[in-house]
Structure 1
Amino acid sequence: MEQIKEGARLFKALSHPIRLCIVKGLIKEEGCNVSKIQYCLDIPQSTLSQHLIKLKDMGILKGERDGLNVNYYVINEEARRVIQTLFDY
C-alpha cells in the first residue's frame, strides 16, 4: 500500500501541465537555470518558482548553485521513467 501511496504522490506532483513540462524539459536538457526554463515556458518567474519548489519538495528535482545561478536536475528515477514512458523517449 505504501508503494501505491508514493506512486499517487508522484502522479499528483506531475499532474500539473507546467510541472510536467518542467520535468520533461529537464530530462531532455539537464542543468537548466530559472531564466532558461522561464524563457522556454513563457511564464512569470514567480509562477515558475512555485512549481520548482513543489517539485523539489517532492524529491523530483534538485537545484545546484553555480555562481549566481541555480541549475536544476531531475533526481527521481520514477519520475524520469514516467515521463519517458508518456513521451516515448
Structure 2
Amino acid sequence: MTDLKVRVDKKKLERTAYVLKCVAHPVRISIIDLLEQEAQLTVSQLQEVLQIEQSLLSHHLTNMRDKGIVETRRQGKNVFYFLTDTTISDIIACIKGCKPVRQ
C-alpha cells in the first residue's frame, strides 16, 4: 500500500475539475460533440441542430468561452465558434463508450 500515490499533478486535476464543472450540462456536451464533428460553427448552425432558443444557446457559449473551452473567430458578419482544445473531445468518446446503468 506504500506505493499508492496520486498520479496526476495538482494543477492538471484542478483544470480538469474546472472544465468538467463547465461542461456538466447536456447542451454544453452537445455543443462539444457538434464542434468535434465540424471544426467551427455559427450560433445559427448550432441553434438549428440543437433546437433551443438563441438566448439560451448564447448563454451556454458565453460560459464556455469564459472558461476557455471555445473561442470565436469573426468572418464578415458571422461569428464562428470552435474548440480551443480538441482533447476535450475525449469526454464525448468516454460518454459514448459508457454502458447504461440498470435500475
Number of equivalenced pairs: 88
Amino acid at match of 1:18: V
Contact 2:36–2:86 (8 Å) recurs in 1: no
* Equivalent-residue separation in structure 1 for 2:95 and 2:38 (angstroms): 17
Which of the two has greater helix per residue? 1
Identity of aligned residues (%): 32
Q: Which residue of 1 aligns with 2:15?
A: 6
**Stretches (4+) displaced over 3 A:** none
C-alpha deviations, 1:31-77, integer Å up to 9, x for none? 11000101111111100001000111111111100111101111123
- Rg larger for: 2
Q: Which residue of 2 aligns with 1:30?
A: 39
Q: Which residue of 2 aligns with 1:67?
A: 76
- Following TM superposition, by how much is the alpha carbon of 1:5 offset from its aligned partner in structure 2, in angstroms? 1.3
* Equivalent-residue separation in structure 1 for 2:87 and 2:22 (angstroms): 12
User: In structure 2, the residue corresponding to 1:43 is in which secondary structure?
Assistant: coil
Are residue 52 (structure 1) and residue 39 (structure 2) matched? no
Amino acid at match of 2:23: L
Q: Structure 2-normalised TM-score?
A: 0.78
Amino acid at match of 1:81: D
Contact 2:41–2:82 (8 Å) recurs in 1: yes
- Following TM superposition, by how much is the alpha carbon of 1:2 offset from its aligned partner in structure 2, in angstroms? 2.1
Q: Structure 1-normalised TM-score?
A: 0.89
Unaligned runs of 5+ in 2: 1-9, 98-103
